Structure 1
Amino acid sequence: MSDENLVVLKKILEEMSIAHSLLGMHDVDSFMEDEMAKRAVCMTVINVGELIKNLDMDFRADNPEVPWRDMAGFRDIAAHKYQTLRMDDVYVTVADEFPSIAEDIRMICERAEGEDEARDDR
């Protein structure tokens, strides 16, 4: 994996962590009533999608366990159709789906870093 892809992956993980922390102790109902939280979480979702678009297409194809296309598409909806965006979908995505996706991305990073270490040992 290129160093650039690894840097982008780490930034994606940071943004996902920020989105999750912005949810704080909100349940879906309190999230729906908190305009600032909704806007902040949507911005981090946009950031994640934009970062994904900076990953090499071959890299994304080689790591199909992460729904790259869906996440980039969700960014487009959040950015361009914000007024029709279903905020409960945003909540579910960040609260329920981001943690497992982040774990998959962490595993990809660990594999890449392990490969780099193995190459350095040669």
Structure 2
Amino acid sequence: MKDKNTAVLEKILSEISIAQGLMGSHDMDSFLEDEMVKRAVCMTVINIGELVKNLEMDFRSRYAQVPWREIAGFRDVAAHKYQTLRMEDVYVTVKDELGPIAEEIEAILEEGARLTK
């Protein structure tokens, strides 16, 4: 049976994959013009941030190289201040920042798998 943190990390990776898939080949301009994609991507970013909040605090501290607090904070802005959210920031986050975060999470999961063998 997986521990809670492992299950949450796997769900975060799934949501990152979904966000990247929704973004597809959109460039900034086509993303800004596509209301449905903007809303779907924002909801996925909200899901990622909510999942991060479900990680145990000591776990987040142990893997401080991942910007957990910033991810959760971005979720709060996307959820509670959607009308003032800069879609350009959403685009950059998904296109440029989620990939490296996914790599960090994959490394954490690999480390955990090695430790449990």
TM range (shorter): over 0.9
CA distance in 2, matches of 1:16, 1:43: 11
Residue-by-residue CA offset, 1:56-97 (whole Å, 9 max, x unaligned):
000000001100000000000000000000000000000000
The runs of at least 4 aligned residues of structure 1 exceeding 6 Å deviation read none
Q: How many angstroms does 1:15 deviate by?
A: 0.1
After superposition, the CA RMSD in angstroms is 0.7
The equivalent of 2:88 in structure 1 is 88
* Structure 2 CA distance for aligned equivalents of residues 56 and 38 of structure 1: 30
Structure-2 separation of matches of 1:28 and 1:21: 15
Paired amino acid for 1:14? S
Aligned residue in 2 for 1:29: 29
For residues 30 and 112 of structure 2, the distance between their equivalents in structure 1, rounded to whole angstroms, comes to 39
Q: Indicate the SS of the match to 1:94.
A: helix
Structure 2 residue 54 is matched with structure 1 residue 54: yes
TM-score of the pair, normalised by structure 1: 0.94
Question: Gaps spanning 5+ residues in structure 1: where?
Answer: 118-122
Q: Secondary structure at the match of 1:26?
A: coil
For 1:74-113, what aligned pairs fall within 5 Å after superposition? 74-113=74-113
* Aligned length, in residue pairs: 116
2-structure distance, mates of 1:12, 1:55: 11
In the alignment, the residues of structure 2 paired with residue 66 and residue 57 of structure 1 have an alpha-carbon distance, to the nearest angstrom, of: 13
The separation in 2 between residues aligned to 1:109 and 1:3, in whole angstroms, is 11
In the alignment, the residues of structure 2 paired with residue 72 and residue 103 of structure 1 have an alpha-carbon distance, to the nearest angstrom, of 18
Give the percent of matched residue pairs that are identical in Structure 1 and Structure 2.
65
Q: Which has the larger radius of gyration?
A: 1
Using the alignment, how far apart are the partners of 2:48 and 2:114 within structure 1?
24
